[in-house]
Structure 1
Amino acid sequence: MEDKTKIPLSAAEMSGLWTQYMGDTIVVCMNSYFLEKVEDEEIRPIIRWTLDTAKENLSIMQDLFQKENFPIPIGFTEQDVNTKAPRLFADTFFLKHLSQLAVFAMTASNAALTVATRPDVIAFHKRILNKGIELQDRTRDLMLKQGIYIKPPSIPIPDKVDFVEKQHYLTGFFGKKRPINAQEITHLYLNALINTIGKELVTGFAQTAQNEEVKQYLLRGKELAHKYVELFSDLLTKEDLPAPISLGSTVLNTTASVFSDKLMMFHVTAMVAAGIGYYGMALAASPRRDLGLKYLSLIPEVALYVEDGANIMIKHGWMEEPPQAFDRDK
Structure 2
Amino acid sequence: MMENKSNIRLTAAEMSSLWTQYINDSLAVCVNTYFLEKSEDPEVRPLIEWTVDTAKENISIMNDIFTKEKFPIPIGFTDQDVNSQAPRLFSDTFVLVYLRQMSSIAMESNAATLGLVTRPDVVAFHKRVLQVGVELQDKTRDLMLKQGTYVKPPTISTPDKVDFVEKQQFLSGFFGKKRTLTSIEITHLFLNIQTNAIGKALMGGFAQIAKSDEVKQFLLKGKKIAQDHIHLFSNFLIKEDLPVPMSWDTAVSDCTTTIFSDKLIMYHVAAMIAAGIGNYGVSLAASPRRDLGYRYASLIPEISLYAEDAANIMINHGWMEEPPQADDREALANK
In structure 1, how many angstroms separate the alpha carbons of the residues matched to 2:323 and 2:249? 38
For residue 120 of structure 1, what is the aligned residue in structure 2?
121
- After superposition, the Cα gap between the structure-2 partners of 1:311 and 1:50, relative to the gap in structure 1 and judged at 3 Å, is same
**Are residue 43 (structure 1) and residue 33 (structure 2) matched?**
no
Q: Deviations over 1:206-233 (max 9, x none)?
A: 0000000011001111111111111111
For residue 90 of structure 2, what is the aligned residue in structure 1?
89
For residue 143 of structure 2, what is the aligned residue in structure 1?
142
Query: Secondary structure at the residue paired with 1:132?
Result: helix
Contact 2:198 2:248 in 1 (8 A): no
Contact 1:148 1:247 in 2 (8 A): no
In structure 1, how many angstroms separate the alpha carbons of the residues matched to 2:324 and 2:267? 17
Equivalent residue runs for 1:204-215 within 5 Å: 204-215=205-216
Contact 1:14 1:323 in 2 (8 A): yes
**Are residue 65 (structure 1) and residue 69 (structure 2) matched?**
no
Contact 2:207 2:216 in 1 (8 A): yes
For residue 269 of structure 1, what is the aligned residue in structure 2?
270
Query: Secondary structure at the residue paired with 2:86?
Result: coil
In structure 2, how many angstroms separate the alpha carbons of the residues matched to 1:182 and 1:14? 38
For residue 174 of structure 1, what is the aligned residue in structure 2?
175
TM-score by structure 2 length?
0.97
Structure 2: which amino acid aligns with 1:130?
Q
Equivalent residue runs for 1:25-36 within 5 Å: 25-36=26-37
Cα deviation for residue 2 of structure 1 reads 1.9
In structure 1, how many angstroms separate the alpha carbons of the residues matched to 2:248 and 2:118? 44
| Aligned-pair identity (%) | 65
For residue 326 of structure 2, what is the aligned residue in structure 1?
325
For residue 299 of structure 1, what is the aligned residue in structure 2?
300
Cα deviation for residue 247 of structure 1 reads 5.6
Contact 2:201 2:248 in 1 (8 A): no
Cα deviation for residue 77 of structure 1 reads 0.3
Query: Secondary structure at the residue paired with 1:62?
Result: helix
Query: Secondary structure at the residue paired with 1:115?
Result: coil
For residue 8 of structure 2, what is the aligned residue in structure 1?
7
For residue 286 of structure 1, what is the aligned residue in structure 2?
287
Cα deviation for residue 150 of structure 1 reads 0.8
Structure 2: which amino acid aligns with 1:309?
A
Cα deviation for residue 91 of structure 1 reads 1.1
In structure 2, how many angstroms separate the alpha carbons of the residues matched to 1:232 and 1:107? 22
In structure 1, how many angstroms separate the alpha carbons of the residues matched to 2:275 and 2:90? 23
In structure 2, how many angstroms separate the alpha carbons of the residues matched to 1:248 and 1:320? 32
For residue 162 of structure 2, what is the aligned residue in structure 1?
161
Query: Secondary structure at the residue paired with 2:266?
Result: helix
In structure 2, how many angstroms separate the alpha carbons of the residues matched to 1:249 and 1:23? 27
Which 4+ runs in 1 deviate beyond 2 A? none
Cα deviation for residue 246 of structure 1 reads 2.4
Q: Deviations over 1:269-293 (max 9, x none)?
A: 1110111000000011111111111
Contact 2:197 2:248 in 1 (8 A): no
TM-score by structure 1 length?
0.99
For residue 200 of structure 1, what is the aligned residue in structure 2?
201
Consecutive unaligned residues of structure 1, counting only runs of 5 or more, are: none
Contact 1:184 1:285 in 2 (8 A): yes
In structure 1, how many angstroms separate the alpha carbons of the residues matched to 2:151 and 2:228? 20
Consecutive unaligned residues of structure 2, counting only runs of 5 or more, are: none
Structure 1: which amino acid aligns with 2:101?
Q
